[in-house]
Amino acid sequence: MTAYIIRRLLHLIPVLIGMTLITFSIVHLIPGNPAQTILGEAATQEAVKNLEESMGLNEPYIKQYGIYVTDLLKGDLGTSLRTKAAITKEIWPHIAATFELTFFAMLFAIFIGVNAGIISAWKQNSWFDFLAMLFALVGVSIPVFWLALMEQWVFAQELGWFPAYGRENSRDPIAAITQFYVLDAFIHLDFPRIFTILKHLLLPSIALGTIPMAIIARMTRSSMLEVMQSDYIRTVRAKGAGQFLVIYKHALKNATIPILTVIGLQTGVLLGGAILTETIFSWPGIGRYVFEAINYRDYPVIQSGVLVIAFLFVIINLIIDILYTYIDPRIKY
Amino acid sequence: MKGKYAFWSILMLLFILLLTACSGDGGADPGASEEGNEEGTSEQKGSNAAGDQVLVYARGGDSVSLDFASISDGESSRVTKNIFESLLDYDKESFEVVPGLAHDWEVSDDGLSYTFFLEEDVTFHDGTPFNAEAVKINFERWADPKHKYAFTDKGYAYPLYGTMFGGYKGDDTHNIKEINVVNDYEIEFVLQAPQGPFLQNMAMHYFAMTSPAALEKYGPDIGENPVGTGPFKFVSWSKNDQIILEKFADYRKEGLPKLDQVIFEVIPENSARLIALRSGEVDIIDGINPDDAAGIESEEGLELYVRGENNVGFLGMNVEKEPLNDKLVRQAINYAVDTEAIVEALYADYATTAINLIPPNYLGYNEEIKAYGYDVERAQELLAEAGYDNGFELDLWVMPVSRPYMPDPETVAEIVQSNLEEVGITTNIVREEWAPYLEKTGKGEHELYLLGWSGSNGDPDYFFDSLLHGDSIGGENRSFYKNNEVDELIDQAGAEIDQDQRAELYKQVQAILHEEAPGVNIVHSTPLAAAKSEVKNFIPHPSTSDPLEEVEIATE
């Protein structure tokens, strides 16, 4: 197991190098002089030249790439062209916001999706199965922005049960420490605030989690159905084990692998920034951060945003791979 | 049962692992932790638990930088307007120049020397005294790219200074020749040539005063650490989320500001912003779909605000391309496009059909000019006269983004297309991304194009000189229109300091442009804002930078 993890970590190195190469090329593939772009058309030639020098743009590409990677290793993602602020400092709250939202969206998706899938498989062809799968079909097909707008309209405007936007009550902002607001509220031992933050999380989590939930439910159902037909399940049943035990203990474990794969992929997708949900619920996440940067051609931010998202995706995959071997010791690589 | 628990605990483990892995370098916003409102989480309207007056102002996008002069971004100046002050200011509802940090000023007869008399006993938020030396440092910072606070090596540039004062230190056209500190509270600006809109420019919010001590202390981080003399001081900024300002107790105007705290929130969706207003989560919203306006107006508890006109949306023509080089064709297009129908269809009556390039409330607006009006027959006659009976084809470029002067360019293009079809002109709609759109129209690759212009100093010069002066070809004059008579009149008006004289000159410019028709002026939009009825004394400014010092929240 340890040897496997080490091997798997070593595999990461070429992947990471490839990622940096691609993000590095983004800036250089785009026509035009970055220094000119930064200063605008009215800038004097001299100013452009000075900026080029201070940015190292007059060096050969190899050396520039070297500087880029060295800076990355130091945790320096560069400076935003638009705001002139350090990206490392700017990007963190956005990552945390996306992370928190993804966490709760996936919690919702996994809890409902897995259980609905299991019950559908257990009571195959029952009315519950039929309804759950219809619901799942609607769930994968529903446009996220529509769902988000409907939620907002019904639960924020008409009923007033939940807030319409943001991560917390804007009149009373949290003293952020980690930028994970739920965690921060725990640290402050401020329990009413935890409740407020969870209230803000609910609508966007449901909007964001609906598609993964539907996919997970369908995957769980089909995977469970397959396992339920295998011989060992019949044996367990023959031993006289109760239905619940058969399903949740014996069958689920073998059905988990494909479900886990889907969960991993979906988590990766959500971490990439859910631009629609983030826009509608004014969630200051990574998706919106990169989207704004694209609008303004803020290349260093696009570059860093893409790099961070790719990195998170790789990490999720790594964790899923490690979980495979943990769940199913027969898996050997 | 064991299997189930294992499954869940693994999942929890997965997330906790990620959580801890990523919180290692927790870059907590230092500003945010200074925020001390931990008394409770009550959602009481207009105040926090301590009973302070807190106002939440929601807008569509975040500020770019709080160093106002280094960017030209409305969402930035909306916030900095309340942190900083300029030597002069605009009236609450218009662009009329009123005193700011200078309570009085004198202009020499030749228009080359302006002396400003500054308010005494004013301090910046950091305690630094405000004086003539501070004014000089600020202006030199913008004028001189080599100035120690210019931060050009960090990508800082001051485009609006260059536009408004003819360039930078060392340029031939740079108009501010000298800045002389007469004494602590008296400062003289010596100009190279008389400049008509000089005072108008000095009142622009882009030329507000930053504390020199803060420039020294924060260096290039000044964009995130604004220190001014204004009614509110900066507390914290979490990007794409909120900016918090609080009352500056030593503000120079007695009894102001009335609010204890102002929070600028970013809510990108127009509909979400309105819902947040209705549910009481925010107090003022800027940016409303015209279709929602009627609903807000009739809704109890909400108040609709209409900003003054300060922009123009137009259908431009590249007059270098055939057949648009023919005046008759251009006039024919003016008759053919039904501007009133466009305004009615797309702005729900919250806009004015444009006749001239400048908005009606501007200096020198020529009221004698009558609109072309929608007249298909007249258009056809003119086309026949020009020898185009059989019609022709034109490319129509459509901007890919919505702007206050044109929230829905795609539909405007469709209406224009069908209007022109009626008189026999076939148009092919061309779509480009925003940056290439500006770049290619600047180079003249287009024929017809949709665009607009927003005022920033409330002066006609900013419209005529930028959009239709021959020297602006290659810049903002995307119509490639060059008329020596017009150029001369614009130059003359730009150098004239008697405002009545200037008004006359601009009237002449408009008369010529109306006849020459280098474009179809479509609309002056009046952007909308809304607030809860409890919000008192809120006056939206046409520049979109609303001063909030007098705003208060009525408590019943």
Q: Chain B contact for A140, CB < 8 A?
A: no
Residues 6+ apart with CB under 8 A from B179: B135, B136, B139, B140, B187, B188, B189, B190
Share of chain B residues as helix, strand and coil, in percent rounded to the nearest 5: 35, 20, 45
Query: What tokens appear for B314 in the block?
Result: 């137009």
Of A54, A152, A176, the CB nearest to B32: A176
> Would you say residue B20 has pLDDT above 60?
no
B148 three-class SS:
coil
At B169, which amino acid appears?
K
Under a CB-based contact definition with an 8 Å cutoff, are residues A266 and A216 in contact?
yes
Cα A4 to chain centroid distance, Å, stands at 25
At B306, which amino acid appears?
V
Determine the distance in angstroms separating the CA of B303 from the nearest CA of chain A, rounded to an integer.
17
Q: Provide the pLDDT for residue A66.
A: 87
With CB atoms and an 8 Å threshold, state whether B37 touches A250: no
Determine the distance in angstroms separating the CA of A54 from the nearest CA of chain B, rounded to an integer.
6
Task: State how beta strands B535-536 and B552-553 pair.
Answer: antiparallel
Query: What tokens appear for B368 in the block?
Result: 């004698």
B552 three-class SS:
strand
Q: Chain B contact for A95, CB < 8 A?
A: yes
Interface of A with B in 153-182 (CB under 8 A): 153, 156-157, 160, 163-167, 169-180
Under a CB-based contact definition with an 8 Å cutoff, are residues B215 and B149 in contact?
yes
Residue B128 is classified by DSSP as P
Interface of A with B in 249-278 (CB under 8 A): 249-250, 252-253, 256, 263
Q: What is the ipTM of this complex?
A: 0.84
Q: Provide the pLDDT for residue B416.
A: 93
Under a CB-based contact definition with an 8 Å cutoff, are residues B214 and B532 in contact?
no
Of A84, A156, A249, the CB nearest to B65: A84
Q: Provide the pLDDT for residue B335.
A: 93
Q: Chain A contact for B37, CB < 8 A?
A: yes
Q: Which residue has the higher pLDDT, A59 or A142?
A: A142
Q: Provide the pLDDT for residue B83.
A: 93
> Would you say residue B44 has pLDDT above 60?
no
Q: Provide the pLDDT for residue B401.
A: 79
Chain B residues near residue A48 by CB distance under 8 angstroms: none
Chain A residues near residue B270 by CB distance under 8 angstroms: none
Nearest residue on chain A to B72, judged by CA atoms?
A82
Determine the distance in angstroms separating the CA of B429 from the nearest CA of chain A, rounded to an integer.
22
Q: Provide the pLDDT for residue B26.
A: 34
Residues 6+ apart with CB under 8 A from A158: none
Cβ burial, residue B141 (10 Å; 0-12/13-18/19+): buried
**CA B298/CA B300 separation, integer angstroms:** 6
Q: Provide the pLDDT for residue A33.
A: 67
Share of chain A residues as helix, strand and coil, in percent rounded to the nearest 5: 75, 0, 25
With CB atoms and an 8 Å threshold, state whether B279 touches A249: no
Chain A residues near residue B272 by CB distance under 8 angstroms: 152, 164-165, 280-282
Closest CA to A258 of A297, A208, A221, A296: A221
Question: pLDDT grade, residue A38 (50/70/90)?
Answer: low
B98 three-class SS:
strand
> Would you say residue B30 has pLDDT above 90?
no
pLDDT-wise least confident of A200-209, B42-51, B150-159, B237-246: B42-51
Nearest residue on chain B to A74, judged by CA atoms?
B25
Under a CB-based contact definition with an 8 Å cutoff, are residues B69 and B142 in contact?
yes
Q: Chain A contact for B265, CB < 8 A?
A: yes
Residues 6+ apart with CB under 8 A from B549: B82, B230, B231, B232, B251, B253, B256, B257, B258
pLDDT in tens, B492-525: 888 888 888 889 999 999 999 999 899 999 999 8
Strands (E), B341-487: 351-353, 392-398, 425-431, 448-454
Of B22, B155, B159, the CB nearest to A95: B22
With CB atoms and an 8 Å threshold, state whether B269 touches A282: yes
Question: pLDDT grade, residue B556 (50/70/90)?
Answer: low
With CB atoms and an 8 Å threshold, state whether A42 touches B159: yes
Interface of A with B in 273-312 (CB under 8 A): 279-282, 284, 288-289, 292, 295, 297
Residues 6+ apart with CB under 8 A from A148: A203, A204, A207, A276, A277, A280, A281
Determine the distance in angstroms separating the CA of B41 from the nearest CA of chain A, rounded to an integer.
6
Nearest residue on chain B to A288, judged by CA atoms?
B240
Enter the pTM of the model. 0.82
Q: Chain A contact for B27, CB < 8 A?
A: yes
Exposure letters B15-40 (e unless 16+ CB within 10 A, then b): beebbeebbeeebbbebbeebebeee
